[in-house]
Amino acid sequence: MSSVETLQSAYAAFAHNDPSLLIGAMAPDIQWNEAEGNPLADRNPYVGAQAVGEGVFGRLLAAIDGFTVAPDRFVDGGDDVIVFGRYSGTMKHSGAKLDAPFCHAYRFVDDRIVSFQQYTDSAQWARVMP
């Protein structure tokens, strides 16, 4: 399976609240970075799948009802894949709505994700997320 196909499958599974395909594609020492200014960037870089699962995915699901990551375009650069799309959901603590664009930059080595960089409207994230 190509890098872009791996990510297409992972995003499809994540749409059903299943991050296991994405986590399973990560290298043991993945370097994961949330966008500067995003409240989840407080632990950058997240190193390893467990840190990403607990520090990013766990916190997102705990804070946001109906959280979605909807990709609309994948740019296949071989070992580098860029994904464009939108986040949405409702903050549990306030009812505030999240509707933010994203760009995800992945790097693969030997069919494993070794790095991730998020780009998004971090001002919106900071405004709505505690």
**Cα 83 from Cα 73, distance rounded (Å):** 6
Residue pLDDT, tens place only, 25-75: 999 999 999 999 999 999 999 999 999 999 999 999 999 999 999 999 999
Note the pLDDT of residue 95: 98
* Residue in the block written with tokens 């872009």: 4
- Categorize the per-residue pLDDT at 91 as very low, low, confident or very high, splitting at 50, 70 and 90: very high
> Is the pLDDT confidence value at 130 over 90?
no
Note the pLDDT of residue 114: 98
- Give the CATH class of 3-128: alpha beta
What pTM was estimated for this model as a whole?
0.96
- Categorize the per-residue pLDDT at 92 as very low, low, confident or very high, splitting at 50, 70 and 90: very high
CB-based contacts of 89, cutoff 8 Å, min separation 6: 64, 65, 66, 67, 68, 97, 98
Amino acid at 30: I
Residue 109 backbone phi and psi in degrees, to 5: -135, 125
How confident is the model over 79-100, as a mean pLDDT? 98
